[in-house]
Amino acid sequence: MTGGHFDLLIRGGDLADGTGAPLLPKDVGIAAGLVTILPAGATATARRVHDATRQVVAPGFIDAHTHSDQTNLNGLGEAQAHAAVLQGVTVEICGNCGDSAFPGHYRDLAAFARAHAASGRANHLVSLVGHGTLRGSVVGHANRAATAQELAQMCRLLDEALTAGAAGLSSGLIYTPGSYADTAEVTALAAVAARHRKPYVTHLRDEMSHVDAALDEAVRIARDSGAALHVSHHKTAGTYAWGGTLRTLPHLERLRAQGLDVTCDVYPYTAGSTALAAMLPPWAHDGGPQSLLARLRDPAARAGMRAAIAEGVPGWENTVGNGGWDRISVAGAGRQPWLQGRTIAQIAAERDAEAIDVVAELLLAEDGDVTIISHSMREDDVQRVLSAPFSMIGSDGVPKPGLPHPRWAGTFARVLGHYTRDLALFSLPEAVRKMTQASAARFGLTGRGVLRDGAPADLVVFDPATVADRATFADPLLSPVGIRLVVVDGTVVVEEGTVTAARPGRVLAC
């Protein structure tokens, strides 16, 4: 194609094509939304030329794990809506941890896609179907097994959504109402995903002291259903599980050697983030959010929750019991923003109050909607998961008001800067592969994730010498440095750190 004419020519850069192959000096031409790889210095012309000297040209990053289902629909603002694309993310995989926007909030994938089309997106979105969402819409929020009829209805809804183009089934087995399901229920649903050759993606029932048993359950579900298994944000968190990746990763490696298709994603931080309500035992949620608030008003029920946290409940991941309230800080509390950034233990000490009472008052004041950050992991575990050849990068971004976890705005730049360049945990082409081809293959994004002739022109150009995250727990939405250009389907959506007016993004069907 030397001598061709392009809409955009990216000249003089080093190509990391997404496969993990070594960097190669190549020019990249884009015409009609598609990529042409050119020899370095090819004599092509273009309407616009980007000089990529000393820069890396890579496929657009695919964020394997987000909770950004409605980020640009719910008025959270530009910084939240664009935090991913400003890092070079051209596809976000949402609908994770058992929670999707359909069927429920939106009737189906088509309605979800229409809402995003109407609102306008810079980058693409792909959604899984949440098991908790399916269960909530069919069974409600009751703490009981699904009837055969209800399970059949969940399977029908899942089948429809996968046929329409959802990327797989997700579960979040620490979250109600998904946590009320037994293994057989999830296996039946995973079998529907298997028929579509789509993965079963799971936030394990326990990522702390019982992580090995929870992983065994996931493997059983995959084996019995025939679905590929993807472990979300793999970690071994809480003081009792620190070092646990020394067991879980070799275990996953052995399963892969035996032929099980199992992968995982990971974010590059030692802190997690979730809902404050998830710190309370499952029975506290029985009946749904209003029932939880009623129990929080009841001193006897509060005492029961305090005892459950102190003593544990079989089958329940007890985050606080695995760490303590001094590791849990408030991330988002819309009506009491002055509490954001402080730990529950600090607030309790200041008020001379019991932690459970602080938690109850906080949830009651915010109608149950409080996000937290949990400083629960150890750095060596995080690095081990990042380094695993079968792990890919997912931010687990939870775009929420307040001081959300910095991973939403920092993950990809942090892996490229801190972990790849500064710590040399892996090579740059390998880092790019974990952000592109690996996720595209896992979630069935045909044609994306590798820069080759004829591929959709989703790409990112960054400066490997300076790329770095700036988002912190105190200033969590600061965009990274070093991202020069982001292109979605041939249209420039970010240049030199600024989002352009173009909105070529859409909900993709898989």
423 three-state secondary structure? coil
Contact between 403 and 342 under an 8 Å Cβ cutoff? The reply is no
Q: Min. distance of Cβ 274 from Zn ion in angstroms? A: 7
192 three-state secondary structure? helix
Cα(43)–Cα(46) distance, rounded to whole angstroms? 10
Cα(113)–Cα(110) distance, rounded to whole angstroms? 5
Cβ distance to Zn ion smaller for residue 394 or 401 = 394
Q: Min. distance of Cβ 485 from Zn ion in angstroms? A: 32
3-state secondary structure 205-241: CCCCCCHHHHHHHHHHHHHHHCCCEEECCCCCCCCCC
Cβ distance to Zn ion smaller for residue 230 or 434 = 230
Cβ distance to Zn ion smaller for residue 203 or 378 = 203
Exposure class string for 135-172: b at 16+ Cβ within 10 A, else e = bbbbbebeeeebeeebbebbbebbbebbebbbbbbbbb
- Per DSSP, the chain holds a count of helices (H) and strands (E) of 15, 21
Cβ distance to Zn ion smaller for residue 50 or 205 = 205
Cβ distance to Zn ion smaller for residue 116 or 235 = 235
Q: Min. distance of Cβ 207 from Zn ion in angstroms? A: 9
Q: Min. distance of Cβ 278 from Zn ion in angstroms? A: 10
DSSP-derived pairing of the beta strands 200-203 and 124-127: unpaired
DSSP-derived pairing of the beta strands 200-203 and 229-231: parallel
Cβ distance to Zn ion smaller for residue 237 or 460 = 237
Cα(301)–Cα(47) distance, rounded to whole angstroms? 67
Cβ distance to Zn ion smaller for residue 264 or 451 = 264
Cβ distance to Zn ion smaller for residue 198 or 203 = 203
Contact between 185 and 98 under an 8 Å Cβ cutoff? The reply is no
User: Could you give the residue ranges of the DSSP H alpha helices within 97-177?
Assistant: 109-119, 131-138, 148-164
Q: Min. distance of Cβ 203 from Zn ion in angstroms? A: 4
Q: Min. distance of Cβ 201 from Zn ion in angstroms? A: 10
> What element of type H or E holds 189?
helix 183-195
Calculate ∠ Cα 493-495-500, nearest 5°. Answer: 40
Q: Min. distance of Cβ 234 from Zn ion in angstroms? A: 11
Q: Min. distance of Cβ 97 from Zn ion in angstroms? A: 3
Q: Min. distance of Cβ 301 from Zn ion in angstroms? A: 26
260 three-state secondary structure? coil
CB neighbours of residue 5 within 10 Å: 12
Q: Which residues bind Zn ion (CB under 5 A)?
A: 97, 203
* CA torsion through residues 48, 433, 166, 171, sign: negative
Nearest CA to 172 out of 134, 207, 140, 205 is that of: 205
Q: Min. distance of Cβ 328 from Zn ion in angstroms? A: 16
Calculate ∠ Cα 171-176-181, nearest 5°. Answer: 60
Cβ distance to Zn ion smaller for residue 178 or 429 = 178
Cβ distance to Zn ion smaller for residue 9 or 181 = 181
What token pair was written down for 363? 């949830």
380 three-state secondary structure? helix
Cα(428)–Cα(446) distance, rounded to whole angstroms? 23
Cβ distance to Zn ion smaller for residue 97 or 344 = 97
Q: Report which residue type is found at 272.
A: G
Cβ distance to Zn ion smaller for residue 36 or 274 = 274
Cβ distance to Zn ion smaller for residue 35 or 97 = 97
Q: Min. distance of Cβ 452 from Zn ion in angstroms? A: 33
Task: Provide φ and ψ at 62, rounded to 5°.
Answer: -110, 110
Q: Min. distance of Cβ 476 from Zn ion in angstroms? A: 18
Q: Min. distance of Cβ 98 from Zn ion in angstroms? A: 8
What token pair was written down for 477? 């939405």
Instruction: Taking each helix axis as running N to C, give the angle between helix 299-311 and helix 289-296, from 0 to 180 degrees, rounded to the nearest 10.
Output: 100
